Chain A
Amino acid sequence: GNSVTQMEGPVTLSEEAFLTINCTYTATGYPSLFWYVQYPGEGLQLLLKATKADDKGSNKGFEATYRKETTSFHLEKGSVQVSDSAVYFCALILTGGGNKLTFGTGTQLKVEL
């Protein structure tokens, strides 16, 4: 079946530190890959996406590259801020699977001053 595996949290960083949240996937076809962010008490917001191998999604200083050879889509940011504290979800959609998202379990990020 299709699945997404994320590193467990919480991840606690100091402001301006480098962030990596690992995400790997298993899929029967060729998925599109996404990172969503959930701030406390809110719904999910799309952070970035990549629809084919070697694509790089980027937004608000976050980046992730679709690596087909390692089936990975790791999220990175060079310098985190306190306002980045949230839960981050990696997700995939299979081509031909409608818009049905398969999510990882989420990684909570806490950024401290």
Chain B
Amino acid sequence: NAGVMQNPRHLVRRRGQEARLRCSPMKGHSHVYWYRQLPEEGLKFMVYLQKENIIDESGMPKERFSAEFPKEGPSILRIQQVVRGDSAAYFCASSPAVTQGRTEAFFGQGTRLTVV
């Protein structure tokens, strides 16, 4: 039973390029969350998605960032025109359902994005 799979593990992009981060949730999980971990900081919530729906994007920067979780395939976090400040570790988590905080979210190993 594979856990949450993120790829790539490491991604290097030049300023102005696009970054696409993928997350395949655990089998049977229909809820996906993206978090960003900046150097020397904790994880910050970005977006919460269910299949084909964005439930909460209150943590997403207003520009250049988008996320989707299609009916088929992985969830994608897309960053357009990357800047050096986007360099961070991006973690995906998934859960089977939401029951008032009693449902454990399982995390992937993260994608470490470096913008040069």
Contacts A/B (CB < 8 Å), 9 sampled: A32-B102, A98-B55, A98-B56, A98-B98, A99-B101, A100-B48, A101-B93, A105-B40, A105-B41
Place the interface of chain A in its size category: 20 to 34
Contacts of A100 in B (CB 8 A): 33, 45, 48, 56
Also in contact, A106 and B42, with CB within 8 A (given A43-B91, A44-B107): yes
**B1 on the interface (CB 8 Å rule)?**
no
Contacts of B105 in A (CB 8 A): 46, 99, 101
Asked if residues B109 and A43 are in contact (CB atoms below 8 Å), the reply is yes
Closest A-B pairs by Cβ, 10 of them? A32-B101, A93-B101, A43-B107, A103-B42, A105-B42, A44-B107, A43-B109, A103-B43, A99-B98, A43-B108
Residue of B nearest to A94 (CB): B101
Contacts of B98 in A (CB 8 A): 98-99
B75-101 at interface with A (beta carbon < 8 Å):
91, 93, 95, 98, 100-101
**A61 on the interface (CB 8 Å rule)?**
no
Q: How far apart are the CA atoms of A53 and B6 in the complex, in Å?
A: 35
Q: How far apart are the CA atoms of A20 and B99 in the complex, in Å?
A: 30
**A104 on the interface (CB 8 Å rule)?**
yes
Contacts of A98 in B (CB 8 A): 48, 55-56, 98
Contacts of B44 in A (CB 8 A): 103
Asked if residues A99 and B103 are in contact (CB atoms below 8 Å), the reply is yes
Asked if residues B101 and A51 are in contact (CB atoms below 8 Å), the reply is yes
